[in-house]
Structure 1
């Protein structure tokens, strides 16, 4: 069977075992002009891949059978020429961070706002397309982690390990509100927009947080 004809810039695959989530996302992206295909589990998606074009993927973390992380690994995101987004609940953030470290482009927390999800997907598609056209796997200048204070580097380590503000504050002996302040400063200094950005910056940095 030949691969389906879809415009990869306007196509999306939604892999989620919750029919309500699949339906909601399908409606949202269809209204935005996307060609949408849904899958209720990771096995169905991976089995269909040979007959699908490379397009953006929204992948749920928790699914029966092949988990979201296992599906991500089978997809080989480092060599997949389209962004892969992990859908996670608030309690799944450490797993979502691990997914970004494994090659996912970003993670989207439940409950999510439809407008925000569409905007992030469009941005992800554009970013990955620019990277491929530039032929640059590193794709960005390394932000200087030395711009951070020692305390900010400690906070960054907690964030990229998947700790919540409360958990990071407990570990470092400071309040969650103080963690939020440090987090905002870190993101401003490094030009990051969210936790997934921070993870990618740390992974791409020349010192990988080793320097103190």
Structure 2
């Protein structure tokens, strides 16, 4: 198995378990970075690079569940697979409910894990593409003037030009000019296009 450009991050405070996974995955042609704690991962993680994260559920300091929450808060696009001891299965199930892709009990079934890593990398590709698109949209939105942004919010709320004009206390003609300019900057062909873009960028309807 060779996944060019992908980095598998192994996070486990148990050195033997960490190095065992690193050796197994490395022997299959995967690039692996090992981390002894969640804090070490967060300090070194490049979440713009294709990959996934294998994290132990129970670790001193920041646990696997707390790490998952932090990664979600950072909008990290790398999928997380949890590794757990038998007694930690309920905690691992909670991790799945919180967004982890899957969990494996120790000792890990190597071939099953590799198949799940393949799935994780496919998912990562999709999520990185979304992140790139969101970044491009954010760049476009940053070019809007404050007034154009206000008009955009009005369009997002489903308001007509004359309603936006009344809301903002400006003329209908001024709204039309701002709307034309913001549509041009956003490369939006219609109001529906613009609304989809703004929602994709994280604006609330």
> Residue by residue, what CA displacement relative to the aligned partner does 1:133-178 show, whole Å, maximum 9, x if unpaired?
589xxxxxxxxxxxxxxxxxxxxxxxxxxxxxxxxxxxxxxxxxxx
Q: How many residues align?
A: 129
Report if the CA contact (8 A) 2:13-2:37 is conserved.
Answer: yes
Relative to 1, partners in 2 of residues 1:20 and 1:79: Cα closer, same or farther, differing over 3 Å?
same
List alignment gaps of at least 5 residues for structure 2.
132-205
Relative to 1, partners in 2 of residues 1:43 and 1:134: Cα closer, same or farther, differing over 3 Å?
closer
In structure 2, the partner of 1:94 is 90
Question: How do 1:50-69 and structure 2 match up within 5 A?
Answer: 53-69=49-65
The equivalent position to 1:106 in structure 2, one of 102, 106, 112, is 102
In structure 1, the partner of 2:19 is 23
Structure with bigger gyration radius: 2
Relative to 1, partners in 2 of residues 1:58 and 1:106: Cα closer, same or farther, differing over 3 Å?
same
Report if the CA contact (8 A) 1:54-1:80 is conserved.
Answer: no
Relative to 1, partners in 2 of residues 1:52 and 1:63: Cα closer, same or farther, differing over 3 Å?
farther
List alignment gaps of at least 5 residues for structure 1.
1-5, 136-212
Q: In the alignment, is residue 76 of structure 1 matched against residue 72 of structure 2?
A: yes
In structure 1, the partner of 2:31 is 35
Distance in 1 (CA, whole Å) between partners of 2:66 and 2:20 is: 24
Relative to 1, partners in 2 of residues 1:122 and 1:78: Cα closer, same or farther, differing over 3 Å?
farther
Q: Structure 1 residue 106: deviation in Å?
A: 0.9
Q: Structure 1 residue 124: deviation in Å?
A: 2.0
In structure 2, the partner of 1:85 is 81
RMSD: 2.6
Report if the CA contact (8 A) 1:42-1:67 is conserved.
Answer: yes
Q: TM-score, normalised by structure 2?
A: 0.55
Distance in 2 (CA, whole Å) between partners of 1:44 and 1:51 is: 14
